[in-house]
Amino acid sequence: MTTLNERAAGIAARMIEHADRLRLAVHQVGGVTIIDCGAVALGGLDAGLHLTRLTMGDLGEVTLLPGPAIQVATDDPVRACLACQYAGRPVSVGKYFGMGSGPMRAVLGGEPIFDDIPGREESSVVVGAIESRKLPTAEVVESLLVKLPEGTKLTLAVAPASSIAGTVQVVARALETALHKLHALKFDVNQILSGIGVAPLPPMHPDEIQAIGRTNDAILYGGEVTLYVKCDDSAIEAVGPKVPSSDSKDHGELFANLFARYGDFYKIDPMLFSPAVVTFVNLTTGRAFRYGQSEPALLQRSFFGSLS
């Protein structure tokens, strides 16, 4: 059976083969292949679509829609989103910091979420992504290699939120944020059979904090997710109103302002990180449940207006 990492390796190989067209740069650092999607290289929209598929272990379709907007659809949402796409692996060595995602998390281990979901695996080919403005150094790649079996072939794709590709792959996390919020609310995410997530693609910003603000606002105030589940209606009704970002005490404020206020990403209410609208379609009963609402005025302020 093909592993998640082997599937992602196929995407990485295509990115390397078409690096010129995708405006990527490929480096070798400490025996690790680094695909620069926007840290120094320019990257682009197509690079962002490839990067997103890589972070999902090639288990989802990623589409650029009119609007513009990014849509993700998958029939394997738990593995694609929580075992792969979720940026649950901080990569911190000295002054270097980035958020690690992709199927490498399924091999590196150490994350409690894998106690509740399928996805842990062994693979001699390991592929991940790092959200960072800087390319990883030899010390950074060594910090990952020491956690992997000797001889592992590691590939890392890197892009900051302030790049075109980075903006695309962050906004493509609307579906992932809904699953992660449901897991935090103790909903059995293994009852989710398929999912679709869409969020508006904001204007890119060269400042990393402003870029992080816009990409998060796109999901918090414009993201819409549909989940196809098999469970009791009562399980949906018990948790549904708590899933949208509107259930958070920090809802209603632009993300860049929240970051400036708290001064620490991890002090922001974790219940905020979810889409604006979530619809559950229960395949057992045929009933559908919709919670939350989009906030176009907040998106207007974030994308085109003052942040004050």
State whether 36 and 106 are in the same domain: yes
State whether 180 and 146 are in the same domain: no
State whether 190 and 232 are in the same domain: yes
One DSSP character per residue, 69-114 reads EEEEEES-HIIIIIIIIS--EEEEETTEEEEEESTHHHHH---GGG
Structure confidence at residue 306 (pLDDT): 57
- Is residue 54 a part of any domain in this protein? yes
Structure confidence at residue 307 (pLDDT): 46
- Is residue 45 a part of any domain in this protein? yes
pLDDT for 76-118, tens place per residue? 999 999 999 999 899 999 999 999 999 999 999 889 999 999 9
* Confidence bin at 267 (pLDDT 50/70/90): confident
State whether 192 and 229 are in the same domain: yes
Domain of 133 in residue numbering reads as 1-59+87-158
**Based on the structure, what is the number of domains in the chain?**
2
pTM of the model: 0.95
Whether 80 contacts 53, CB under 8 Å: no
Structure confidence at residue 80 (pLDDT): 98
Structure confidence at residue 258 (pLDDT): 93
Q: Hey, which bits of the chain come out as E strands?
A: 25-29, 32-36, 61-65, 69-74, 89-93, 96-101, 125-131, 153-158, 192-200, 224-229, 277-282, 288-292
CA distance 241 to 218: 20
- Is residue 127 a part of any domain in this protein? yes
State whether 177 and 148 are in the same domain: no
- Is residue 165 a part of any domain in this protein? no
State whether 178 and 236 are in the same domain: yes
- Is residue 167 a part of any domain in this protein? no
- Is residue 292 a part of any domain in this protein? yes
State whether 236 and 96 are in the same domain: no
- CATH number of the domain that 46 lies in? 3.10.340.11
Residue where one domain finishes, among candidates 133, 158, 183: 158
pLDDT for 6-29, tens place per residue? 999 999 999 999 999 999 999 999
Residue where one domain finishes, among candidates 135, 158, 181: 158
- Is residue 166 a part of any domain in this protein? no
State whether 153 and 8 are in the same domain: yes
State whether 178 and 142 are in the same domain: no
- Is residue 104 a part of any domain in this protein? yes
State whether 16 and 119 are in the same domain: yes
Look up residue 139 and give its two tokens.
Answer: 């010390």
State whether 44 and 137 are in the same domain: yes
Residue where one domain finishes, among candidates 134, 158, 182: 158
pLDDT for 180-218, tens place per residue? 999 999 999 999 999 999 999 999 999 999 999 999 999
H or E element that contains 234: helix 233-239
Identity of the amino acid at 244: P
pLDDT for 46-87, tens place per residue? 999 999 999 999 999 999 999 999 999 999 999 999 999 999
CA-nearest of 27, 77, 39, 29 to 57 is 77
